[in-house]
Amino acid sequence: MTTRLIVWRHGNTDWNAGHRVQGQTDVPLNDLGRRQAAEAAELLLTMRPDAIVASDLQRAADTAAALATRTGLTVSHDERLRERFFGSWQGLTMTEVASQRPLEFARWKAGKDVGGDVEDLDVMGKRVSDALQDAAALVPAGGTVVVATHGAAARQGLAHLLGWSREQNRTLRALQNCHWAELTYDEDRDWQLGAYNVGVFADRPVPPAV
């Protein structure tokens, strides 16, 4: 039997719209984000989820709640699903980061560890991957679990779960707000990526996954 895991990025926030680094700052959904969550939830409902897990940050938790209200399921929260901790970058626009911290910004653009007080990629990947595996274990074989998380956390957590190198991971563009990746697991084939960046708003620009 195959278990299905849906890794879902939260809806839009004012900081997404302003290209401002959120990291683990607890920024709420804006009106667009709430609308995105509601519309995406209608589509996810057709997958008949058996469990919903979310980051405890408000934007992911409220995105998950939109699906919970339609399924009658209770959302479990896991702080390991939080976004990457961006330290002193948090609250800055990406333009400000590039101007004020050019060496760190260059490392980030190259897919390397930033240094300073920004969380290392491997550390983030492992914590998110561990949370994803624990979420999948909540449902019996053949079940479906939906996990609401964040852009950078989703991409790095998926790469760690799939055993991908950083170079492979950089071939994935960021998940759009309220889009998701679909993975499956069975004992013979382990984890496999079935779909990526699926959702209702495929024609909209992608805010930075930060």
pLDDT tens digits, 10-21: 999 999 999 999
Q: Is 169 flagged in the annotation as binding?
A: no
DSSP secondary structure of 38-71: HHHHHHHHTT--SEEEE-SSHHHHHHHHHHHHHH
Contact (CB, 8 A) for 176 and 199: yes
Decide which of 128 and 204 is more confident. 128
In terms of CATH, what superfamily is 3-198? Phosphoglycerate mutase-like (3.40.50.1240)
Q: Are the CB atoms for 68 and 74 separated by under 8 Å?
A: yes
Instruction: Find out whether 14 is annotated in a ligand binding site.
Output: yes
Interval 162-173 mean pLDDT: 93
What phi, psi does 25 have (nearest 5°)? -65, 135
What is the reported pLDDT for 171?
92
The total number of residues shown for the chain amounts to 210
Tell me: the pLDDT tens digits for 119-144?
999 999 999 999 999 999 999 989 99
Per the residue annotation, which of 42, 83, 104, 187 is the catalytic one? 83
Confidence of residue 208 (pLDDT cuts 50, 70, 90): low
Euclidean distance between CA atoms 67 and 186, whole angstroms: 25
**Per-residue pLDDT for 46 more than 90?**
yes
Contact 119, 21 (CB under 8 A): no
So what's the pLDDT on residue 200? Answer: 87
61: tokens are: 């938790």
Which one of the listed residues 10, 150, 160, 179 is annotated catalytic?
10
Question: Is 10 labelled as part of a ligand binding site?
Answer: yes
Q: Residue 160 catalytic?
A: no
Alpha-carbon separation of residue 36 from 11, 42, 95, 115, 195 (angstroms): 6, 10, 26, 34, 19
Give the C-alpha separation, 156 to 126, whole Å: 8
Q: Which residue has the higher pLDDT, 207 or 100?
A: 100
The reply, when asked if residue 11 is annotated as ligand binding, is yes
Instruction: Please tell me whether 150 is known to bind a ligand.
Output: no
Amino acid at 108: W
pLDDT digits (tens, 9 = 90+) for 49-83: 999 999 999 999 999 999 999 999 999 999 999 99
Q: Is 9 annotated as a binding residue?
A: yes
Six-digit token pair at 206?
A: 């992608």
Query: What is the rounded distance in angstroms from the CA atom of residue 201 to the CA atom of residue 73?
Result: 25
- Sheet with 75-77: strands ordered across: 75-77, 51-54, 144-149, 3-9, 180-186, 190-198
Residues 181/206, Cβ–Cβ less than 8 Å:
no
104 is catalytic: no
Which residues contact residue 4 at a Cβ distance below 8 angstroms, ignoring those fewer than 6 apart? 47, 143, 144, 145, 182, 183, 184
Q: Is 189 annotated as a binding residue?
A: no
Q: Enter the tokens of residue 40.
A: 């995406």
pLDDT for res 203: 44
